[in-house]
């Protein structure tokens, strides 16, 4: 019987691969036989990650995801080497302190420059790589593009102003591209997103836990609002990414999948 979840030999391009979630996802798809194309700013970090993933064909692509000309250059170079990308996982993204309104601040304190950067990193940083690598994606072969949203998208997180807006834009873009690509390039080209709940990573550890490991007030609020009563753990994203990347989800496009222990479904009562 056909293995619907087969990733063996698939060409998978990943941005943000050296990040916390990216490292786990990259190692996982490598272990399932994918050929990897890792897109990032720091050649050193990418090579370091590559050295930790043996027995896998890995090509490093050095470009900032917000730099269209650098992306176009690496995409052109890559198209001299391969004919197609099968899966593109856009993980590069993140928050910026200036785009957060602290309790002692008001909207007047918003750093418009930081807001611009957060929108640029998350929104343009997803759209521009898709645009640059489109010639390797739109050949009619089965393609799965996986963007990265957040719990902040559908219900903006208190204080986290810029990031919430940027991830909401990712949800909208994901749906828009799903329709555009299916209509223009055929039903094999899919675009979906994962919306991770609260995973304890370096970016948010200080927000969610005290130095002694106890939960901060915000950490407590999140756990109280998560029916499963815990933060996301390393393996929690992998099954959803595997499913979206593979033919097992071949009739699925334009959806944003929460991986959140029920946070998104919980009304609080």
Please answer whether residues 76 and 134 qualify as being in contact, where contact means their C-beta atoms are separated by less than 8 angstroms: no
Q: Which of 115, 121, 193, 257 binds ligand NAD (CB under 6 A)?
A: 121
Q: Would you count residue 19 as binding ligand NAD (CB under 6 A)?
A: yes
Task: Give the count of alpha carbons within 13 A of 202, CB side only.
Answer: 5
Binding mask 203-242 for ligand NAD (x = CB under 6 A): xx--------------------------------------
Smallest separation (angstroms) from ligand NAD to the CB of 255: 16
Nearest to 237 by CA among 46, 37, 22, 38: 22
Q: Which helix (H) or strand (E) covers residue 228, if one does?
A: none
Q: Which of 72, 138, 201, 209 binds ligand NAD (CB under 6 A)?
A: 201
Q: Which of 125, 162, 219, 258 binds ligand NAD (CB under 6 A)?
A: 125
50-58, 62-70, 101-109, 177-185 -> range binding ligand NAD (CB under 6 A): 62-70
50-58, 81-89, 197-205, 244-252 -> range binding ligand NAD (CB under 6 A): 197-205
Which residues have C-beta within 8 Å of that of residue 95, sequence separation ≥ 6? 118, 160, 162, 163, 203
Spatial separation of the C-alpha atoms in residues 65 and 24, rounded to whole Å:
20
- Which two structure tokens, joined as six digits, stand for 36? 């990897």
Smallest separation (angstroms) from ligand NAD to the CB of 162: 12
Spatial separation of the C-alpha atoms in residues 111 and 219, rounded to whole Å:
25
**Which CB sits closer to ligand NAD, 141 or 205?**
205
**Which CB sits closer to ligand NAD, 181 or 199?**
199
């Amino acid at each position: 019987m056909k293995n619907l979840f087969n990733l063996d030999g698939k060409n998978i391009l990943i941005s943000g691969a050296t990040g916390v979630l990216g490292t786990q996802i990259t190692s996982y798809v490598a272990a399932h036989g994918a050929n990897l194309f890792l897109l990032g700013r720091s050649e050193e970090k990418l090579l370091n990650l590559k050295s930790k993933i043996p027995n896998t064909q890995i090509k490093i692509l050095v470009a900032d995801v917000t730099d269209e000309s650098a992306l176009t250059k690496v995409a052109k170079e890559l198209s001299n080497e391969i004919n197609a990308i099968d899966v593109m996982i856009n993980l590069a993204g993140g928050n910026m302190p200036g785009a957060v309104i602290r309790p002692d601040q008001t909207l007047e304190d918003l750093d418009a420059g930081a807001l611009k950067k957060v929108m640029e990193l998350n929104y343009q940083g997803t759209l521009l790589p898709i645009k640059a690598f489109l010639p390797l994606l739109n050949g009619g072969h089965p393609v799965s593009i996986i963007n990265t949203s957040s719990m902040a998208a559908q219900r903006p997180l208190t204080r986290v102003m810029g990031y919430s807006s940027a991830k909401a834009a990712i949800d909208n873009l994901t749906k828009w591209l799903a329709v555009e690509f299916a209509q223009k390039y055929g039903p094999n080209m899919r675009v979906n997103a994962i919306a991770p709940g609260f995973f304890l990573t370096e970016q948010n550890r200080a927000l969610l836990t005290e130095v002694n490991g106890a939960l901060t007030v915000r950490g407590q609020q999140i756990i109280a609002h998560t029916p499963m009563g815990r933060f996301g753990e390393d393996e929690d994203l992998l099954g959803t990414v595997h499913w979206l990347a593979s033919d097992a989800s071949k009739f699925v496009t334009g959806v944003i999948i929460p991986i959140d222990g029920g946070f998104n479904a919980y009304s609080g009562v």
